[in-house]
Each structure stands twice: as C-alpha cells, then as structure tokens.
Amino acid sequence: MTKKIEAIIREDALDAVKDGLHDIGIVGMNIFEIRGHGRQGGVDMSWRGTTYKMDLLPKIQLNIILSDNNVDKAVETIVKAARTGKEGDGIIFIYPVEDVVRIRTGERGHDALMYPGDIDERKKKK
Amino acid sequence: MRKKGLRWLVTPVIAMILMFTVNGIVAAQTSGPTTDDLATSTNIMWTLITGFLVFFMQGGFALVETGFTRSKNVAHTMMMNMMVFCIGALGYWLVGFAFQFGGVNFTFPAIGKIAALSFAPSTLGDMTGHLDKWLIRFGQTGILGGDGFLLTRGVRDISGILAFFLFQMVFMDTAATIPTGAMAERLKFTGFVLMGFWVSMVVYPLVGGWVWGGGWLANLGRTAGLGNGAVDFAGSGVVHMIGGAVALAGAVVIGPRIGRFNPDGTANAMPGHNIPMGVLGTIILFFGWFGFNPGSSLAFVGPGRNLAANAAVNTLLAGGAGGVAAMLFMWWFGPTKKPDPGLSVNGILAGLVAITSPCAFVNSTGAVAIGLVAGVIVCLAVFLLERWHIDDPVGAVPVHFFNGIWGLISVGIFADGAASSAGWNGVDGPVTGLLFGGGTQILAQLAEVASIFVVVGGLSFLFFKLLNAVKLLRSEPAHELTGLDVPEMGVQGYSTVDVHMHGSALPRQSPRIGSMGSR
C-alpha cells in the first residue's frame, strides 16, 4: 500500500523537516507555498493604528509519497523537526495512493518509489 | 620619435605657461562682474539648485503614496504622481504664474527699498517693467495678478525671473500632488487631470498670490498693523495647507473606499503593500525639503544667508522631532502599543510641514518644539479623520492640512524677532511671535489660515461636487474592487504576464485583473 503524507508546517520549519527526512532516507518531495489558517482563525495585525485579522497565513505544504510501512517513521520525523509547541505548528494529513508511475522508465507501483540508498534499502541492510 | 628623459616636455610646458599668463594679462584688463552682479548670480544659482531639489520631492511623494496603497493600483497611483508635475507645469506656465506673481513687482518695490537686494524677488536681479500688473487690485491690495502669461513679455533674457518661475512651479506642484494621496485608489484619472489644472491654474495661484505675490494677506502688516502681515516663509500655508484643503475637500466629496467603513461605524484597515517604498519616499522628501525651506530665502547674500542656514537647521530638527514624537506616541499611547512605521513616517513629514512657515524665523528650540507637537497632531488627526469617516489612505490631510495650520500658527508664537527678518512684507520690525513680545503676528497668521480654509477648501469642495455630478470624480465600483491599473491605465503596475509572454512552461493566459490586492 502506498500512502501520501500532506504535511502543513511553518515556513521556517522547512529546512529542519527536509534535513530530518533526508537523514532517514526519504528524499523525494513536493513543496508548496500555501496560505490558510486553522482553529485560531488567524492573527491580529495592525496598520496605522487600526487592527485587523490576518487569516491568510503563509505556510509550507510538503507532499511525500511512500510505502505504508514507512509512514510512521516519516510522521515521527516531521513532527519532531516541526514542533515548537506554539499555535501554528501545522497539521499532517495521510491519504491512500492508488498507483505510482515513474515517467522515465515506466516502472509502476513499489518499483517506481524505490531508489538506491532510500529508507527501505537501509532497513534491508541492517 | 621618443627622446630619453624628459627633455621633450620642455617646449610644450613653456608654451602652456606663456598661454596662461598672456590670457591672464588680457583678462585683467577687461572689466569683470560687479559685487552686485555676483550677489545676484549667487542668489539665482541658489534658487535654481534648491528648486531642483524640490522637484525631486515628486519621487518622494510617488513612493510614499504608492507604498501606502495597494498593489492593484500601483500604475494608477504612480501615474498620478508623475503626471501631476507635467499637467501642473503647463497650467502654471499658461496662467498660474501670472495669476500668482503678476503683480509682485508692483507691490514689493515699494517695500523692498528697506534694504537693497534683501528681499525677493529683488534678490534675483532687476525685474523693472515685469511682473508689475494686477488684474484685480484695490489700492495696494492685490487680489489676482496679471503679468507673465506663458512667460512672455521679454522674460527670456531675465535669468532672475526664469529661476523664480522654476522655483515657484515646483512649489505649486508640491501642493498639487497632495490631494492625489487623499483620493488615491478611487479617483478617476479624468477627474485627476482636471484637478491638476484646477490647482495649478486657479486655486493655488489665487490664494498663493495673496501671501507671496504681494497680495492682501502679505499687506496686512502695512494696511492693518498686524505684525509683518501674513508670514509664510516656505509655505506651510501656501503649499501644504492649500494642498491639504484641496485634499480634504476631495476626500469628503469622493467618499471612502469600498469596505473601509462598516455600517456599524467601525473601520477596516487597508494596509499598504510596500513599507520600504513608504520609508524611502519619506527620506527623499526630507532630502528635498532641504531645498524647499532654505531655498525659499531666494538669496544667499545678505540676510538671505542667515535665513537659509537657519531654515536648513530648523528643518532638520523639526523633521527629526516629528518622527520621534509620532513614534513614541504610537508606542506609548496607540492602540497597538508598538512603534508604528506608517505613522512614524507621517510624523516626520508632519514636523517638516509644520516648520515650513517658521523655519527662518525661529531658533532651534522652537524648531524642536514645533516638530514634537506636529508629531502628536498628526497621530490625533489620523484618529479624528477615522472617527469622522473620512478616508485618507496615506495621511495627506493629517500631515499637510492640520500641520499646515500648526505651521502658520507657530510663526505667530515662536518667531524670535531676529534681525535677518527686519523689513519683511514692508514692516520695519522683524517677524516676532507671542513668546517674544509680538502680539499681532498671530492675527495675521490666523487670517491666512481662515482664508485658505474658506476660499481654497470652499471653492475646491464646489469644484469636486461639480466633477462628481458629471461622473468624472469617482471610479466605477467594479474597477475599484479589481484594481484601477487595467481599467484606467491599461497596464498592470506589477505585471503577472511578463514571464508568460517571454517564454515559460505555463500556457498563455489573459492578464489577471481579479486581484485581492495585498492582504
């Protein structure tokens, strides 16, 4: 089973999360600049003495596709790297993925996700 | 053929020495400029160069207004600030200068005789036979000047008048660009063009002439015994209060931007899109003000030198004090308890506006005091306008109108009676305010305040009402919401198609006119 992780994190957490994922052998990812807000509904800003609610807060979204058995490790790494304990740390969604196709070679499924030195190969080596 | 050593230099060097000495001998035998010529040249050069600095303030205004408004309107806002100079230049050349200064040489020679070459425009040379007609005049009381239309009547060879025209034109333009800030983001460009002509051809020259062209306000000292008459060194009243009055009238008539005020009376912030532009613009304005205030001596010889130097230092101090006062006011007393960049910027400008009238007539303590008060006034005025539901995106009215008034009044309070202002407006004594024993100057100042408020404010209110009635003032609501750039200018200020049109992976799309602006 292949899964997709959508992780919405702070902009300044991106470097730590990327490094953490690379360290455990997850390299491929898509990164989006997004705006939004969670339960807090935004933050208060001010302009010339008048306050207003800023509810389109900039965040970073990472999309990672990976095998089922690696999801827990990846989530644990992301949370550890991105958590500050303050509101606005972010949220992670996990979806099932129907199929994966590598365009260059035509490989499908698990083969399309594999590459030398990745998380599954490291597990095998141990 | 190359020779060894430097012997080959001997002949050319001897030739050059001979050339210079012979030239020197010949020159010494022809007559050079007189001291008066040199004084006049110095004064004209001073006027021209400071005038160039004032022109550069256009860039400052453009940056402040654009930085404090939203990105969907940048092309429109920038275009207004740029074209107001061009329109104003033509309007002022056509009739404005003549209306304002056509009679200055009728009134002032009588009073300029107190000291030769001491008061403009005689500091700029002999102008006999020019600028000596009033269209409307009651005795010595001038109302509307009448000479110098299209700068004809032999002015081409009179450098003093040419410099004077340039200097006064850039001052007029400073006043004309103030209303564009108060009416930004919803002013139709046609209405703006007509406003540019209105200011440069009618309302500024009319009232400006009353103070600077030898008109009735300047003569209040001679005719009514009120101090030295209305005293306005560089134009807190003539430039800033006039511009601010037009701005206030325009903002009232044009109405607030859509979404600015809620039905229940609360206000919504509409943040500007680029604070760096606003700050840089303020610094450019400050720099230009070193031409605006000191240059208004129109002289650097005789009393002009001290007037100019004093003005320069006071400008520096008042601007600094205004910035500090506004910053601290917002930090300590403002709703957010933070040093707000937007209002600190307004505070600097407020201090500069307020010192513009008194700059040559006060000492440095007075300048600091004036600036500190100005910084507080501008913050209070911002909140006041919001309470009155008048929408002024960049703070043009708090800065220019309210502090223009404060600048005029502060002459009547802080002017210290220094010798360099003796004879101003034809009154023997120096300009003296309440704190230094001058009891009547303040009345002349209040006369100028009242005249500008009633005449400029009133006439401009009617003018804008007229524009509104023929639908030339306010832009369409749909255009206002999506941004004025494309509907009014036909271009986006910040292009979203540049990459697409010059080759990129994404397919071509039409310009994105649905923009939420900056949030």
Cβ separation A50–B338 shorter than 8 A: no
**How far lies B261's CA from each of A61, B100, B168, B266, B385, in Å?**
35, 40, 39, 6, 12
Q: How sure is the predictor about B505, in pLDDT bands with cuts at 50, 70 and 90? A: low
What is the number of domains present in chain A? 1
What's the pLDDT at B342? Answer: 93
Cβ separation A48–B519 shorter than 8 A: no
Q: How sure is the predictor about B419, in pLDDT bands with cuts at 50, 70 and 90? A: confident
B400 vs chain A: nearest CA distance in angstroms? 17
For residue B500, pLDDT beyond 60: no
What's the pLDDT at A119? Answer: 84
Mean pLDDT, rounded, for B111-127:
63
What's the pLDDT at B395? Answer: 95
**Model confidence pLDDT, tens digit, residues B36-60:** 889 899 999 999 999 999 999 999 9
What's the pLDDT at A55? Answer: 87
What's the pLDDT at B515? Answer: 37
Sign of the CA dihedral with B155 first, then B159, B162, and B164 last? negative
Q: How sure is the predictor about A11, in pLDDT bands with cuts at 50, 70 and 90? A: very high
Q: How sure is the predictor about B131, in pLDDT bands with cuts at 50, 70 and 90? A: confident
Nearest C-alpha in B relative to A35: B519
Residue B334 with chain A: CB contacts under 8 Å? 49
Mean pLDDT, rounded, for B279-295:
98
**How far lies B473's CA from each of B76, B252, B258, B289, in Å?**
14, 12, 15, 31
The reply to whether B349 touches chain A by the CB within 8 Å rule is: no
Place of tokens 């004032």: B54
Residue B273 with chain A: CB contacts under 8 Å? none
Q: How sure is the predictor about B456, in pLDDT bands with cuts at 50, 70 and 90? A: very high
Cβ separation B271–A56 shorter than 8 A: no
Percent of chain B with pLDDT over 70: 90
Cβ separation A52–B335 shorter than 8 A: no
Residues forming beta bridges with residue A33, ordered by sequence position: A60
For residue B519, pLDDT beyond 90: no
Q: How sure is the predictor about B113, in pLDDT bands with cuts at 50, 70 and 90? A: very low
What's the pLDDT at B116? Answer: 44
The reply to whether A46 touches chain B by the CB within 8 Å rule is: yes
Nearest C-alpha in B relative to A44: B336
Question: What does the H/E/C string look like for B287-319?
Answer: HHHHHHHHHCCCCCCCHHHHHHHHHHHHHHHHH
Q: Which of B502 and B72 is assigned the larger pLDDT? A: B72
What's the pLDDT at B140? Answer: 77
Q: Which of B82 and B23 is assigned the larger pLDDT? A: B82
Q: Which of residues 268-287 of B touch A (CB under 8 A)?
A: 268-272
Sign of the CA dihedral with B169 first, then B170, B171, and B175 last? positive
**Model confidence pLDDT, tens digit, residues B336-355:** 898 999 999 999 999 999 99
Q: How sure is the predictor about A118, in pLDDT bands with cuts at 50, 70 and 90? A: confident
The reply to whether A52 touches chain B by the CB within 8 Å rule is: yes
For residue B499, pLDDT beyond 60: no
Residues forming beta bridges with residue A4, ordered by sequence position: A65, A95
A104: helix, strand or coil: coil
User: What fold, for B35-469?
Assistant: Ammonium transporter fold (1.10.3430)
**Widest CA span in chain B:** 95
Residue A49 with chain B: CB contacts under 8 Å? 330, 334-336, 340, 343, 379, 382-383
A37 vs chain B: nearest CA distance in angstroms? 14
pLDDT, averaged across chain A: 91
Cβ separation B271–A47 shorter than 8 A: yes
Nearest C-alpha in B relative to A50: B269
The reply to whether A53 touches chain B by the CB within 8 Å rule is: no
Positions of E strands within B155-308: none
Q: Which of residues 55-94 of A touch B (CB under 8 A)?
A: 56
pLDDT, averaged across chain B: 90
Q: How sure is the predictor about A117, in pLDDT bands with cuts at 50, 70 and 90? A: confident
The reply to whether B266 touches chain A by the CB within 8 Å rule is: no
Q: How sure is the predictor about B267, in pLDDT bands with cuts at 50, 70 and 90? A: very high
List the single residue in B269, B379, B386 with the smallest CB-CB distance to A51: B269
Nearest C-alpha in A relative to B346: A48
Mean pLDDT, rounded, for B149-172:
92
List the single residue in A45, A49, A52 with the smallest CB-CB distance to B330: A49
What's the pLDDT at B1? Answer: 53
Global ipTM: 0.73
List the single residue in A47, A54, A56 with the smallest CB-CB distance to B342: A47
A46 vs chain B: nearest CA distance in angstroms? 7
Q: What are phi and psi of A43, to 5 degrees?
A: -125, 165
Residue A43 with chain B: CB contacts under 8 Å? none
d(CA B133, CA B105): 8
For residue A98, pLDDT beyond 60: yes
Mean pLDDT, rounded, for B185-213:
96
For residue B408, pLDDT beyond 60: yes
Residue B519 with chain A: CB contacts under 8 Å? 54, 56
Most B-contacting residue of A44, A48, A55 (CB-CB within 10 A), to test interface: A48
The reply to whether B506 touches chain A by the CB within 8 Å rule is: no
Place of tokens 């369409």: B476
B187: helix, strand or coil: strand
The reply to whether B342 touches chain A by the CB within 8 Å rule is: yes
* DSSP classification of residue B267: B
For residue B503, pLDDT beyond 60: no
The reply to whether B384 touches chain A by the CB within 8 Å rule is: no
Query: What is the rounded (10 degree) CA torsion for B456, B457, B458, B462?
Result: 100
Question: What does the H/E/C string look like for A50-85?
Answer: EEEEECCEEEEEEEEEEEHHHHHHHHHHHHHHHCCC
Domain extent, residue A109, equals 2-125
Angle in degrees, CA B313, B318, B322, rounded to 5: 155
Nearest C-alpha in B relative to A56: B519
What's the pLDDT at B478? Answer: 95
The reply to whether A54 touches chain B by the CB within 8 Å rule is: yes
Residue A56 with chain B: CB contacts under 8 Å? 519
Q: Which of B75 and B303 is assigned the larger pLDDT? A: B75
Mean pLDDT, rounded, for A97-104:
94
Cβ separation B335–A50 shorter than 8 A: yes
The reply to whether A96 touches chain B by the CB within 8 Å rule is: no
Domain boundaries, chain B: 35-469
Q: Which of B165 and B23 is assigned the larger pLDDT? A: B165
For residue B79, pLDDT beyond 60: yes
For residue B22, pLDDT beyond 80: no
The reply to whether A49 touches chain B by the CB within 8 Å rule is: yes
Mean pLDDT, rounded, for B392-404:
97
What's the pLDDT at B112? Answer: 53
Among B126-130, B291-295, B300-304, the minimum mean pLDDT is found in B126-130
Among A24-28, B5-9, B97-101, the minimum mean pLDDT is found in B5-9
Residue B35, C-beta contacts closer than 8 angstroms, at least 6 positions apart: none
Asked, as a colleague might, if the bond just before B398 is cis with ω within 30 of 0, I would say: no
What's the pLDDT at B510? Answer: 41
Nearest C-alpha in A relative to B335: A49
For residue B506, pLDDT beyond 80: no
Indicate which CATH number applies to the domain containing A46: 3.30.70.120
Mean pLDDT, rounded, for B54-81:
96
List the single residue in A49, A51, A56 with the smallest CB-CB distance to B383: A49
Residues in chain B: 519
d(CA B182, CA B394): 6
Mean pLDDT, rounded, for B17-29:
65
A41 vs chain B: nearest CA distance in angstroms? 15
List the single residue in A49, A52, A56 with the smallest CB-CB distance to B334: A49
For residue B497, pLDDT beyond 80: no
Q: How sure is the predictor about B125, in pLDDT bands with cuts at 50, 70 and 90? A: confident
The reply to whether B343 touches chain A by the CB within 8 Å rule is: yes
**Model confidence pLDDT, tens digit, residues A36-53:** 998 888 888 888 888 888
What's the pLDDT at B28? Answer: 56
Q: pTM for the complete prediction? A: 0.86
Among A115-119, B146-150, B402-406, B470-474, the minimum mean pLDDT is found in A115-119
d(CA B480, CA B252): 17
